[in-house]
Amino acid sequence: MEKELLLAASYLKQGMVVAFPTETVYGLGANAFDENAINQIFSLKKRAKDNPLIVHIHDINQVLTLAQNIPPEFYLLANSFFPGPLTVVVQKHPNVPYAVTASLETVAIRMPNHPMALKLLSYAGVPIAAPSANLSGKPSPTCADHVRQDFLGKIPLILDGGNCEVGIESTVINLTSPEPTLLRPGTITKQMLEAVLGKPVLSSSKSEKILSPGMKYRHYAPNAPIFLFDTLQELYQHIQMNPGKTRTILSRVNPTLTQNFTVLSQQNLYAAFRKADENKDLEILIFCDEDVKNDPALFNRLSMASRTNASKTEV
């Protein structure tokens, strides 16, 4: 594995794009200061140009090369949550190409908590800009096979670090707005951020569309339409009214359905979506019990994936 990591680092230094594991989802990485390499990420993913990338670091001092006017809140959050599934948006340093930030004056920074990602970053010696390693519109990859499904033969190396522990993308918080604002919910919750900052964190509503451009697209979505149900009764009714359809049913706990069901969790969600696509399922039914609704990160991904009227391009 050491040899592969060194090879991946040398590819990055030569301006190539490689995929690597993080604790959240796999990333499709390139040297953050290499504009050509960054452009390759966008064309490989078929990603909208107005959707900025997260820059990954392994050493807190690297932030000085990426950001300026860094507020004390950044360091409070970094001390508590780096390395970990948190991304912090601060003012961009002039050295960071606009290709990374989609022409914004801000940059998103995160230190992933995965030994392979941290080693890769340290061997490469440069910050790595990386979106999730999926084709735009596909669910994020939580194992190397998912990355192979989308990019085999198109990039020189896919580092295999097994299954991602977290399974959904990092929390994103913006520190460049008048008040700290949550742009994307994740396993690091609003309450955890507020406890460290000692002040309220706003939930982005309208502002998120401008501040976090990626949030306006239909994300995290499999091919099959997704239907969310508040009660099992409604879910059963739907099945009765649509007999003979191949489907995936997701539920947090075994709802004693006669049909097969798949466990609904942050870690398993995207794998279940991709499996449903492989099976050519015609629909995905999801039972959203109170525990699911009380998990803002999971419920956010479900809501985004079930939005049918939004654009199909993605994060």
Residue number, 170 or 251, with CB nearest to ligand TXA: 170
| Least distance from Mg ion to the Cβ atom of residue 244, Å | 34
For ligand TXA, what does the binding mask look like between residues 199 and 218, x meaning CB under 6 A? ------------xxxxx---
Q: Which of 130, 144, 264, 288 binds ligand TXA (CB under 6 A)?
A: 130
Options 101, 113, 132, 204; binder of Mg ion; rule CB under 5 A: 132
Q: At what angle do helices 269-278 and 296-306 cross, to 10 degrees?
A: 30
Going edge to edge, which strands form the sheet with 226-229? 226-229, 283-287, 247-251, 262-263
Size of residue set near ligand TXA by CB under 6 A: 31
Quick note: the x/- pattern for ligand TXA over 6-45, rule CB under 6 A, is: ----------------x-xx-x------------------
User: Which one of the spans 106-114, 121-129, 151-159, 229-237 is the region binding ligand TXA (CB under 6 A)?
Assistant: 106-114
Binding segment toward ligand TXA, per CB under 6 A, in 1-9, 69-77, 130-138, 258-266: 130-138
Task: Classify residue 205 by burial, with Cβ atoms within 10 Å: 0-12, 13-18, 19+.
Answer: exposed
- Beta-bridge mates of residue 129: 30, 55
Q: Binding to ligand TXA by residue 113, rule CB under 6 A?
A: no
For residue 130, the partner it binds in ligand TXA, Mg ion, none, with Cβ less than 5 to 8 A by kind, is: ligand TXA
Of 51 and 248, the one with the shorter C-beta distance to ligand TXA is: 51
For ligand TXA, which residue of 107, 121, 292, 305 counts as binding (CB under 6 A)?
A: 107
| Listed residue (130, 135, 136, 131) closest to 147, CA to CA | 135
Q: Which of 51, 62, 113, 262 binds ligand TXA (CB under 6 A)?
A: 51
Residues that bind Mg ion (CB under 5 A): 132, 315
Chain residues binding ligand TXA by CB under 6 A are 22, 24-25, 27, 51-54, 87, 89, 101, 104, 106-108, 110, 112, 130-132, 169-170, 172, 183-184, 211-215, 315
